[in-house]
Structure 1
Amino acid sequence: MFAYIIKRLLYAIPILIGVNLITFMLFFMVNTPDDMARSQLGAKQVTPEMIEAWKVERGYDKPLFVNGEADGISTVTDTLFVQESLKLFTFNFGFSDAKRDIGSDIKERMMPSLAIALPTFAIALITNISLALLLVLFRGSMLDTSMMIVAVMIMSISSLFYIIAGQVLLSKIYHWVPISGFESGWGGVKFIILPIMIGVFAGIGAGVRWYRSIFLEQINQDYVRTARAKGLSELRVLFGHVLSNGMLPILTGVVVVIPTLFMGSLIMESFFGIPGLGSYTIDAINSQDFAIVKAMVFLGSVLYIIGLILTDISYTIFDPRVKLG
């Protein structure tokens, strides 16, 4: 097990380097350090001296990938890409272009993101699996057909519609919950109720259809027919056999998502004014703050890789036949 984890972590290094390389290329294809300096300085009369001083202070005066003025290995190492990438691999996120401590910002904004993501994830998981099992129990019936039509309709509508409709209906018309904002502690519960409800409802369509297909594949297996032949009720067959044997494909989509919950929801947090990591990333993109953008992309990639490793490990827990190479 330990050797497998070490091997997967070593495999992650070139993946993270590639992700970081793509991030640098995409960002600097549409931005230049001069543009970033003008955006951050925000002054009407920005002189070339001010731009150059801003670039030197933040390290943007270095060449991006190749330093033609250096000799030997410094041609590659004395570049913006290598210098900034080395910091990321030590999880030293440094300071943003606006001179804010990125590490402190991440710690501060992580909790608001989790306050929405964790309840949404848990409620949606239980709801989707329960509804899927119900549809499998009544498979082929009018209930099953009607729910599948509703599920496709829910999937076909953008989540932006649910956000706007929820804000208008529950906040502006009925005034049941605030339209946006956030507070720490129990006083902030009223601010996260609507985002959680919308997050759960928007994912019901895809979630129910996916879990239903998993359970339908299991319901026709030989072990299910054997259980029925022994006289077990349909409910015991579903919960005692189908659900447990369907856990492996479910884990593929569930465990890998857990680490990425820390990153928050870009759209949800922006619309509801939640000071989480999702809105933090959107604000950084809008202000062309590359230091924050590369840090968040790198952190998201690390969390996703951790999720994949946890998925493989969880396979061995739920299915002893699966062995890690």
Structure 2
Amino acid sequence: MLNYILRRILYAIPILIGVNLLTFTLFFVVNTPDDMARMQLGIKYVTPEAIEKWKTERGYDKPLLLNHKEEKWRKLTETIFFEKSVTMFIFNFGQADDGRDITQEIKSRMMPSLAIALPVFVLGLIVYITCALLMVFFRATYIDFWGVVLCVALMSISSLFYIISGQFLVSKLWHLVPISGYGSGLSAGKFLLLPIIIGIVSSAGSSTRWYRTIFLEEMNKEYVRTARAKGLSEHIVLFRHVLKNAMIPILTGAVVVVPLLFLGSLLVESFFGIPGLGSYTIDAINSQDFAIVRAMVFLGSMLYIVGLILTDISYTFVDPRIRLS
């Protein structure tokens, strides 16, 4: 078991290093600091002096990989690569263009994002799996037919429609919850209720239909026929055996949303004015603050890799055979 976990962690290290190198290449080689300065200052009529001043203020005036002006280890440390890329591994993301510390901003904005994403993840998983099991239990009936129709209809509607419609009906027309904003403590609940409901509903169609497909595939396997031949009732076969054996694909699908638990939902946070990491990323893209965008790309990739490792570990609990692989 321990060897299995260590192998997965060792596999993840080169992947994270590769993502870091790719991010550095995109932000500093393909898009050079001079290009970033021109975008911030304006493409036309920008003097070389203004560009150099902008680069100096943000630490972009140093060499990319090797500083020949320094001695010994400072040849490597006094570079853009070390200060802007390597330090990310110790969660030192530097400063944004407006001078604020990115690490502190991430810490302060993490909880609002989690306050939305965690309930959506947990409640959504319960709702989707329950609905999928009911559709499979009543397969080939009107419940299953209209359930699939509803899922397809929900899949065909953009999440933007749910956001705008929810704000208009629930907030503006019925005045049940605030249309946007965020509060501290328990007062945040009234601001989070509608975004959580919209987050669950917007993914209900695709997720429920996907889980239904997984359960139907399991229903045609040999162990299900054996269980029925032993005289077990249909609901015991479905809820005790099929659900247990379908946990591996369920866990695989769940890992995709792990980064969202921290990074938040970009659209939901922006439309509802919630100061989370999602809206923080959107604002950085709009203002072309490359330091923040670079930090969020690295953080998102790291969280996704962590999610993959946790998923691999969780596999060992639902299928002991994996421990031997």
Same fold (TM over 0.5): yes
Within the alignment, does 1:132 sit opposite 2:114 as a pair?
no
**Which residue of structure 2 aligns with residue 98 of structure 1?**
98
Give per-residue Cα distances to partners, 1:195-229, cap 9 Å, x unaligned: 11111001111111111011111112222222222
Q: Hey, what's the Cα distance between the residues in 1 that align with 2:108 and 2:31? A: 28
Structure 1 residues 129 and 296: CA distance shift in structure 2, 3 A: same
Alignment of 1:87-236 (within 5 A): 87-236=87-236
Give per-residue Cα distances to partners, 1:277-324, cap 9 Å, x unaligned: 011111111112121111111111111111111111111111111125
Structure 1 residues 155 and 256: CA distance shift in structure 2, 3 A: closer
**Equivalent residue of 2:288, what SS?**
coil
Q: Hey, what's the Cα distance between the residues in 1 that align with 2:4 and 2:73? A: 33
Give per-residue Cα distances to partners, 1:89-140, cap 9 Å, x unaligned: 2221122222111111111000000000011111110000000000001111
Note the C-alpha offset of 1:257: 3.0
Which amino acid is the alignment partner of residue 296 of structure 1? M
**11-20 vs 86-95, which deviates more?**
11-20
> Does structure 1 retain, via aligned residues, the 8 Å contact 2:24–2:85?
no
**Which residue of structure 1 aligns with residue 314 of structure 2?**
314
Note the C-alpha offset of 1:63: 4.3
**163-172 vs 107-116, which deviates more?**
163-172
Note the C-alpha offset of 1:68: 8.9
Which amino acid is the alignment partner of residue 136 of structure 2? V
**78-87 vs 231-240, which deviates more?**
78-87
Q: Hey, what's the Cα distance between the residues in 2 that align with 1:295 and 1:6? A: 27
Structure 2: gaps of 5 or more residues: none
**Which residue of structure 1 aligns with residue 17 of structure 2?**
17
Alignment of 1:47-66 (within 5 A): 49-64=49-64
Identical columns (%): 65
Structure 1 residues 39 and 184: CA distance shift in structure 2, 3 A: farther
Number of positions where the alignment pairs a residue of Structure 1 with one of Structure 2: 324
Structure 1: gaps of 5 or more residues: none
Q: Hey, what's the Cα distance between the residues in 1 that align with 2:188 and 2:30? A: 39
Note the C-alpha offset of 1:271: 0.8
**Equivalent residue of 1:237, what SS?**
helix
Structure 1 residues 256 and 153: CA distance shift in structure 2, 3 A: closer
Q: Hey, what's the Cα distance between the residues in 2 that align with 1:87 and 1:301? A: 16
**Which residue of structure 1 aligns with residue 284 of structure 2?**
284
Within the alignment, does 1:249 sit opposite 2:249 as a pair?
yes
> Does structure 2 retain, via aligned residues, the 8 Å contact 1:316–1:324?
no
**Equivalent residue of 2:320, what SS?**
coil
**Equivalent residue of 1:261, what SS?**
helix
> Does structure 1 retain, via aligned residues, the 8 Å contact 2:27–2:294?
no
Note the C-alpha offset of 1:232: 2.0
Which amino acid is the alignment partner of residue 198 of structure 2? I
**Equivalent residue of 1:307, what SS?**
helix
Give per-residue Cα distances to partners, 1:232-260, cap 9 Å, x unaligned: 22111111111111111111112453354
Which amino acid is the alignment partner of residue 251 of structure 2? L
Q: Hey, what's the Cα distance between the residues in 2 that align with 1:173 and 1:324? A: 59
> Does structure 1 retain, via aligned residues, the 8 Å contact 2:166–2:198?
yes
Q: Hey, what's the Cα distance between the residues in 2 that align with 1:256 and 1:270? A: 21
Normalised by the length of structure 2, the TM-score is: 0.89
Give per-residue Cα distances to partners, 1:45-87, cap 9 Å, x unaligned: 9865454233113211134467798999998876423432111
**Which residue of structure 2 aligns with residue 304 of structure 1?**
304
**255-264 vs 201-210, which deviates more?**
255-264
**Which residue of structure 2 aligns with residue 83 of structure 1?**
83
Q: Hey, what's the Cα distance between the residues in 2 that align with 1:265 and 1:255? A: 15
Q: Hey, what's the Cα distance between the residues in 1 that align with 2:29 and 2:180? A: 35
Which amino acid is the alignment partner of residue 183 of structure 2? E
